């Protein structure tokens, strides 16, 4: 599917006259954040804001306390209830702004209050791995999305992109390859069934 078709679909959501939430899901390295940001730029100022799921990563200190630092990125290493609560709040905008957290990859930490969503913005684009996941508190996310897309690129390209991203953020290539194989791809297998719950699959 061409980007222009995706843009028109997102533009239709923004033009509905009410706040809409578009969710973009898919495995690690699928291009979710790139697509979300590209759509927001294409729609123009004041029309869309990107609110990533990654802002709800648990802090590194908490992951260490829980013994989950080596599994960062797994479903239980996020505040799923907090993410769901924010989506619920964003569905019914008031006059004031809502502030959402972002994830700083240079710090590998979430940063609170980073993203401003004004009440006048018609479309919130949220993206992340587990938007269509059904285990535990993640099951509450899908009903809050007006439309959900699942990105399914070529796996070899996706894995290569993931390794390169980890290298850019400080890992040695051997360590990056091992992390992708052990952690990211395990998460990708968990995410795969969500494809059936999407309104649109982008291959």
What confidence score (pLDDT) does residue 132 get?
A: 98
Enter the pTM of the model: 0.92
What confidence score (pLDDT) does residue 170 get?
A: 81
pLDDT tens for each residue of 108-127: 899 999 999 999 999 999 99
Contacts of 58 (CB under 8 A, 6+ apart): 66, 68, 77, 78, 79, 110
What confidence score (pLDDT) does residue 186 get?
A: 86
Q: How many domains does the chain have?
A: 1
Measured distance CA(63)–CA(93) in Å, rounded: 32
Residue 95 has pLDDT above 80, yes or no: no
At 141, which CATH number?
3.40.50.300
Hey, CA dihedral for 189, 86, 71, 28, is it positive or negative?
Answer: positive
Domain that holds residue 38: 3-202
Measured distance CA(74)–CA(133) in Å, rounded: 12
pLDDT tens for each residue of 26-84: 999 899 999 999 999 999 999 999 999 999 999 999 999 999 998 999 999 999 999 99
What confidence score (pLDDT) does residue 193 get?
A: 95
What confidence score (pLDDT) does residue 135 get?
A: 95
pLDDT tens for each residue of 129-185: 999 999 999 999 999 999 999 999 888 888 888 888 888 878 889 888 887 788 888
Measured distance CA(202)–CA(62) in Å, rounded: 35
What confidence score (pLDDT) does residue 108 get?
A: 85
């Amino acid at each position: 599917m061409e980007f222009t078709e995706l843009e028109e679909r997102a533009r239709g959501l923004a033009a509905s006259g009410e706040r809409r939430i578009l969710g973009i899901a898919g495995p690690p390295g699928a291009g979710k954040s790139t697509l979300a940001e590209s759509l927001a730029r294409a729609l123009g100022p004041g029309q869309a804001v990107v609110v990533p799921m990654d802002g709800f990563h648990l802090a590194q200190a908490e992951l260490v306390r829980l013994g989950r630092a080596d599994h960062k990125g797994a479903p239980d290493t996020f505040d799923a209830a907090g993410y769901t609560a924010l989506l619920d709040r964003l569905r019914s905008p008031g006059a004031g702004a809502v502030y959402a957290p972002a994830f700083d990859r240079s710090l590998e930490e979430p940063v609170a209050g980073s993203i401003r969503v004004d009440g006048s913005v018609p479309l919130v684009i949220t993206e992340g791995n587990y938007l269509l996941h059904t285990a535990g508190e993640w099951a509450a996310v899908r009903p809050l999305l007006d439309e959900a897309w699942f990105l399914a690129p070529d796996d070899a390209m996706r894995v290569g992109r993931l390794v390169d991203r980890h290298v850019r953020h400080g890992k040695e290539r051997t360590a990056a390859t091992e992390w992708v194989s052990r952690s990211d791809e395990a998460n990708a297998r968990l995410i795969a069934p969500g494809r059936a719950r999407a309104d649109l699959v982008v291959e």
